[in-house]
Chain A
Amino acid sequence: MSMAFIDGGTYYHHATRNDPQFAPCFDACIYAPELDSTDLSPFDCIYVASRQDPEYLLRARPRFEAFLAAGKTLVVMGDNQAQDWVPGVCWESTPVNFWWWLTPGADSGLRLGAPEHPLVKAVGLDAFTWHRHGQLQVPAGATSLVNTVEGGSVFYDDRVSTPGRILVTTLDPCYHHGSRFMPSTTRFLRGFLPWLAAGAPD
C-alpha cells in the first residue's frame, strides 16, 4: 500500500527513512509542520515515526480523523502523545527503565498478547523488547499484540474505534535505529516496515 512517513526533521527520522533497507517501504515523506496543509488522500497508510513534536500532530488531528474515516491505516509510534490526537487512545505513564536488561535473568515485563497476529509472527517478542515509554489501555474490541505485566499494552491493533485501522505503540524504534543504537529496534523495523508496506496483511 502507499505509505507516507511523517518526518519531524530530526537526524534519526532522516536516517530511518533514508536507510536503503527501509526507504523502499515509503512512497512519500511529509514534514510534520506541513501536515495540516498536506492532502493525505493519496496514501493508504500514514506512519508517524516516534518522537515528533505533538504540536504538529494536534494541529493535524482533523486530517487524521478524516483519513481514518476513509477506512485507511494510521500507524503511531511511541512518545508522540497519541492520547491527545488519536481516537480511542488511553496512555498511562510508567517508569522508564532503560537498564533492566543489564541484570542477568531480568524480566522485561512484556508478554505476547496475540501470538497468532501476523506482525508478531513476522517480528517475534524479542524484537518488541527494549524499553517502553508508558503503556496503553486497549480499547474494547482491539487486539493487543504485546501486553505488560501491569495489565496494559505496548502495541495494539484497533479496527473498531474508527472505520479505519489504528496501529499504536509506546515503542520508539526510529530514534534508536536512527541513532545506530539498540539492535532490537532495527530488527523490529525489519519486520514491521515490510509488513506495513505489503498492506499489513492478515
Chain B
Amino acid sequence: MTSILYLRAIGHEFPSFLALPEAEGVIARHVRELGEADFDRFDAILVPAHIDQRALASHSAGLTRFLNRGGTLVFNGHLVYPVLPELESFVPAPGGHLDDLIVERVGEHPVFAGVEVQDLSFRRGVAGFYGRGANPPPAGAVVLHRLKADGSPLDWYWERPQGGRILMHGGNTLWMYVDDDTSAARIGPQLLCWLKAGIHQGA
C-alpha cells in the first residue's frame, strides 16, 4: 500500500481534498512537524502552494534521500527557496493579460485524464488561476501543460535519473479545484488514485 504524507501549510486550514474517499489513509502533518524519519517512511509527499518553503528547504537532504529511494514528490507553488539542489527558481511569464494566460496541453498524464484544458485556462470565466509562470523543468522532464503564448512550462513530470519522481506544478495547488463543478475537479482524486496505483504506470 502506498503511504502518502500531506504537508499542511497553515495550521488552521484543512482542505476538502483530504476529505475525498480517495484520501483515506493519507497522513496530514504540518511542515513544522516533519521529521527525518518521514523521508524513509513515506512513498509520496504532497506539498501545497502555501507551504513554508524555508522550512521545507531545511529538509533538502532528507527530500533528496526520499527521492533517491524511489519516493514521489508532488510540489505546488512558485519555487523560490532551494528545496532541492537540482531545481531552479520560478520564472514569471511576461504577460498578464487574458491572451497570455491560456493553457495548452502538450503531454498526457493519468492525473489529467478527462480534464478539459479549457477548465484549466478559466475558472468562472477568469483566466490565470492555473499558472502565471513556471518552475523550470530539468533535462528529461516531460512538460504536461504550458502557456500557449510564451511556452512557460506550467507543470511537468520527471523521472529522476538518481531515483524517484517529481510532479511539479508552478502555480496554485492542483487539488484546489476539487470542489469546482468542472472537469478540473477530477485532478485531486485522480492524483490520489495515481499515487495509490503505485505510480509506475508513469506519465
- Residue ranges of A at the interface with B (Cβ–Cβ < 8 Å): 7-12, 14-15, 31, 33, 51-55, 81, 99, 102, 179-181
Contact = CB atoms under 8 A, between A and B. Distances in A.
A8 B92 CA distance: 21
Contact of B55 (A9, A11, A99): A9
Given A11-B90, A33-B32, A180-B132, A99 B124 contact: yes
Interface of B: 9-12, 30, 32, 49-55, 77-81, 90, 92, 96, 124-126, 128-129, 132-133, 172
B180 to A, nearest CB: 12
B96 A9 contact: no
Contact of A53 (B11, B124, B132): B11
Q: Is the interface of B mostly helix, strand, loop or mixed?
A: loop
Which 7 residue pairs across A and B have the least CB separation, nearest first? A9-B54, A9-B52, A11-B78, A14-B80, A180-B132, A11-B80, A53-B10
A55 B11 contact: yes
A55 B125 CA distance: 37
A102 B125 contact: yes
A8 B132 contact: no
B52 A179 contact: no
Nearest to B77: A11
A93 to B, nearest CB: 12
A76 to B, nearest CB: 15
Contacts of B30: 53
A14 B53 CA distance: 10
Nearest to B92: A180
A54 B12 contact: yes
A54 B81 contact: no
A15 B78 contact: yes
Given A33-B52, A53-B9, 18 more contacts: A9-B54, A9-B81, A10-B9, A10-B51, A10-B53, A11-B53, A11-B78, A11-B80, A14-B80, A55-B32, A81-B12, A99-B124, A102-B124, A102-B125, A180-B92, A180-B133, A181-B129, A181-B132
